[in-house]
Each structure stands twice: as structure tokens, then as C-alpha cells.
Amino acid sequence: MGDYPEHEKMAALRTESEAIGDFLADSRYSLCDYDTRTGRWRPIRLPLDALLAEHFSVDLAKIEDEKAAMLRSLR
């Protein structure tokens, strides 16, 4: 792995992630979670990028840290 492993992981997943993201963004479906306390379905309120990152085990905080490192190395 190189200097930016989380970015490399994200790049390797790009095609699949974009396909899922496009489907979710363009569909009329809503993702929901079942609340066992109330016995009702509730919409998932995560932003799409956070939802995809969670699904693919991409750490968005590490992505930001790597971006900052990239900028530092360019300066």
C-alpha cells in the first residue's frame, strides 16, 4: 500500500460505489431502519457519502487526514 491507503481503498471501490450511489440518488426508494422500540420503520438520515463509506468500511476521518497530508506534501 502507498502513502494514502484509505484513498486507495476508496478508488478500488469507485465503480461499485458509484453504481449503488447513482441508484439510490435516482430512485424513488427510501432506505429505512426498523425501530424495535416503536415497532415502526424510520428513514435513514445519513448523507449518501456517509452511508456508502459505512457500507464499504471506508473511514471518512482517515480520508480527511490523508487529504490534509496530500496538501502538506504539495506545499
pLDDT, one tens digit per residue, over 14-72 is 999 999 999 998 998 889 999 999 999 999 989 999 999 999 999 999 999 999 999 99
Please tell me the total number of residues recorded for the chain in this structure. 75
Contact 71, 63 (CB under 8 A): no
Question: pLDDT tier at 2 (50, 70, 90 boundaries)?
Answer: confident
**50-61 pLDDT, tens digit each:** 999 999 999 999
Pair 56, 13: CB distance under 8 Å: yes
Domain ranges of the chain: 5-74
Cβ-based burial of 36 (10 A; exposed 0-12, middle 13-18, buried ≥19): exposed
CB 41 within 8 A of CB 31: no
The residue written with cell numbers 478500488 in the block is 12
Which pLDDT value is given to residue 1?
Answer: 63
